[in-house]
Amino acid sequence: MANHNSRHTIILLQNSHSRATRTFMDYDSIGQAMDGICGLYERKLKEINPSLRNISYDIADLYNFIDGLADLSALVYEHSMSAYLPYDRQWIKQKAFHHLKKLANGGR
């Protein structure tokens, strides 16, 4: 039986209303996908604030970033079905919150 965390995850993303901004990112796990989404936000913060050495944000800031994207969804491989299941922006926000909380607690 495959580990829940080793579920291949594809993030489908559209930054703006222009269809040309559609892209995807794929990861070996849901946790890595959440790291990827946080990384996107952190890069955006660094673009906006290039002089800041340390960037910090709270979950509300991350949620605002996620909500500001034209489109965001995830496809997560479900081993038992041998298929990808789709998840929406709300699911991503919930998973990002739990992922960051786990990181803040030392990975437990």
The one-letter amino acid at 54: N
d(CA 81, CA 63): 31
| Domain assignments of the chain as residue spans, ordered by start | 4-104
Enter the pTM of the model.
Answer: 0.87
Phi, psi at 9, each rounded to 5° = -130, 130
pLDDT score, position 5:
56
| Fold assignment, 4-104 | ERH-like fold (3.30.2260)
86: helix, coil or strand?
A: strand
Averaged over successive runs of 10 residues, the pLDDT of the chain (108 residues) comes to 72 95 96 95 92 88 96 97 97 95 79
Q: Are 62 and 41 contacting, i.e. CB atoms less than 8 angstroms apart? A: yes
Q: Are 9 and 77 contacting, i.e. CB atoms less than 8 angstroms apart? A: yes
pLDDT score, position 52:
83
pLDDT score, position 56:
85
